[in-house]
Amino acid sequence: MRDAVKKLGGDPEKINPICPADLVIDHSIQVDFNRRSDSLKKNQDLEFERNKERFEFLKWGSQAFKNMRIIPPGSGIIHQVNLEYLARVVMDQDGYYYPDSVVGTDSHTTMIDGLGVLGWGVGGIEAEAVMLGQPISMVLPEVVGYKLLGNPQPLVTSTDIVLTVTKHLRQVGVVGKFVEFFGPGVAQLSIADRATIANMCPEYGATAAYFPVDDISIGYLIQTGRDKEKVMCTKKYLEAVGMLRDFKNSSQDPDFTQVVELDLHTVVPCCSGPKRPQDKVAVSDMKKDFETCLGAKQGFKGFQIAPDRHNTIVKFNFEGCDFELAHGSVVIAAITSCTNTSNPSVMLGAGLLAKKAVEAGLTVKPYIKTSLSPGSGVVTYYLRESGVMSYLSQLGFDVVGYGCMTCIGNSGPLPESVVAAITQGDLVAVGVLSGNRNFEGRVHPNTRANYLASPPLVIAYAIAGTIRIDFEKEPLGINASGKKIFLKDIWPTRNEIQVVEHQFVIPGMFKEVYQKIETVNESWNALDAPSDKLYTWNPKSTYIKSPPFFDGLTLALQTPKTIEDAYVLLSFGDSVTTDHISPAGNIARNSPAARYLMSRGLTPREFNSYGSRRGNDAVMARGTFANIRLVNKFIDKQGPQTVHFPSGEILDVFDAAERYKQAGHPLIVLAGKEYGAGSSRDWAAKGPFLLGVKAVLAESYERIHRSNLVGMGVIPLQYLPGEDAGSLGLTGRERYTIIIPEKLKPQMNIQIKLDTGKTFHAIMRFDTDVELTYFHNGGILNYMIRKMAS
**Does the structure show a pLDDT above 80 at 228?**
yes
Q: What pLDDT does residue 31 have?
A: 41
- Look at residue 71 in the predicted model and tell me its pLDDT: 82
- Return the bridge partners of 466, or none: 329
- The pLDDT value recorded for residue 784 is 87
Burial code (b: 16+ CB inside 10 Å, e: under 16) for 542-580 equals bbbbbbebbeebeeeeeebeebeebbbbbbbbbbbbbbb
Average pLDDT, the chain: 91
Q: What are the helix (H) ranges across 429-493? A: 455-464, 487-490
What length is written for the chain?
Answer: 790
Going by C-alpha positions, the residue among 489, 147, 497, 471 that lies closest to residue 282 is 471
pLDDT in tens, 558-606: 888 999 999 999 999 999 999 899 887 889 999 999 999 999 999 998 9
- Which segment of 56-60, 90-94, 132-136, 433-437 scores lowest on mean pLDDT? 132-136
Q: What is the pLDDT of residue 553?
A: 86
- pLDDT digit string (tens) for 480-532? 899 999 999 999 988 899 999 999 998 888 898 888 888 888 888 888 888 88
Helix axes 703-711, 769-776, angle to 10 degrees: 40
* Mean pLDDT, range 187-192, rounded to an integer: 94
Higher-pLDDT residue of 545 and 340 is: 545
* pLDDT band at residue 134 under the 50/70/90 scheme: confident
**Alpha carbon distances (Å) from 288 to 306, 524, 613:** 17, 49, 41
Helix (H) or strand (E) holding 496: helix 494-504
232-261 average pLDDT score: 96
Model pLDDT, residue 51: 84
Residue 119: strand pairing partners = 102
pLDDT at 209: 97
The string of pLDDT tens digits covering residues 370-396 is 999 988 889 999 999 999 999 999 999
Question: What number is the average pLDDT over the span 333-362?
Answer: 92
- Kindly give, in sequence order, each residue whose CB lies less than 8 Å from that of residue 384, ignoring residues fewer than 6 positions away: none
Phi and psi, residue 191, nearest 5°:
-65, -35
Q: CA 293 to CA 283: how far, in whole Å?
A: 15
The model's pLDDT over 21-63, given as tens digits with 9 standing for 90+, comes to 555 555 433 444 444 447 777 878 888 888 888 888 888 888 8
DSSP state of 645: T
Region 527-547: mean pLDDT is 89
Please state, for a pLDDT cut of 90, what percent of the chain lies above it: 67
Q: Model-level pTM? A: 0.85
Which of 299, 268, 262, 297 minimizes the C-alpha distance to 285?
268
- Rounded CA gap, 60 and 543, in Å? 15
State residue 30's pLDDT score: 40
User: What integer pLDDT is reported at residue 558 of this predicted model?
Assistant: 83
Which residues, 6 or more positions from 388, have their beta carbon under 8 angstroms from its beta carbon? Answer: 348, 351, 352, 354, 355
Neighbours of 85 (CB within 10 A): 23
Contact (Cβ atoms closer than 8 angstroms) between residue 434 and residue 339: yes
Banded model confidence at residue 20, pLDDT cuts 50, 70, 90: low
CA torsion, points 504, 510, 512, 515, in degrees to nearest 10? Answer: 180
Asked if the model's pLDDT at residue 13 lies above 80, the reply is: no
Check if the beta carbon of residue 305 is closer than 8 Å to that of residue 194.
Answer: no
